[in-house]
Structure 1
């Protein structure tokens, strides 16, 4: 649920509506993050990252809801003090879910980078000629000492 940035709490009903809107957005975002974390943790990256647009939209709505809540902090404290405490507790739990998600995504990124670097090193090692078992540089046909080979173009691909 998108909140209007100019929303102003004037009574208990408005305070309860604001707390409910922020809570529902937070819970929906937490569910998307939990699904993403679960998929990425077991190596299903495509499924884990499939809901990136929904996650971005929910994150934007959540941040906008927090801004509206901050703008109405005095009225919320006056009309719905229990709702404010509920939001604070939910936000602490949500922060833990975000931290777990970031840790899993960071690990997946590190593993992916390691695999790519290892693959690049193996390919580089395989393309280097060896002389008597030692890696050697092939002489460049251009006399510049570069190890790269000529550029080839295939029309069959």
Structure 2
């Protein structure tokens, strides 16, 4: 580790608590850097990144990139679209579930979702109940809180 910002140091310590004065470099940072090396050697074509969930509910994305001869690892809050993609995959949602969740996350109400998906409002409600069961929630607010990383009130 050559340098880091105070914000990245806080996130790194959240991922891997270490004694003061010692560098915290969690496995996810090494994994992103290793993925970059694999891509450079044409062993693997996946993007050099990892997503990690912090204890406070924040998702961060760790990316690695080459800067001259060094590897730079950056940390950023995971974008809502990436969170939605992860949520869909990790909760075994169907393509139709994903479409409905995208519309819901964009702020559409039942009527708007029904119109855009060419469904009745009752079908949308029934489909939402199935999604709630898959996600282990009981309402839209809790569902959106999980997807978007906000708190349900």
TM-score range, shorter chain: under 0.3
Q: State the TM-score, normalized to the length of structure 2.
A: 0.22
Q: State the TM-score, normalized to the length of structure 1.
A: 0.21
Write 1 or 2 for the structure with the bigger share of helix.
1
Q: Which protein shows a greater Rg?
A: 1
Q: Which has the higher contact order (CA 8 A, sep 6+)?
A: 1
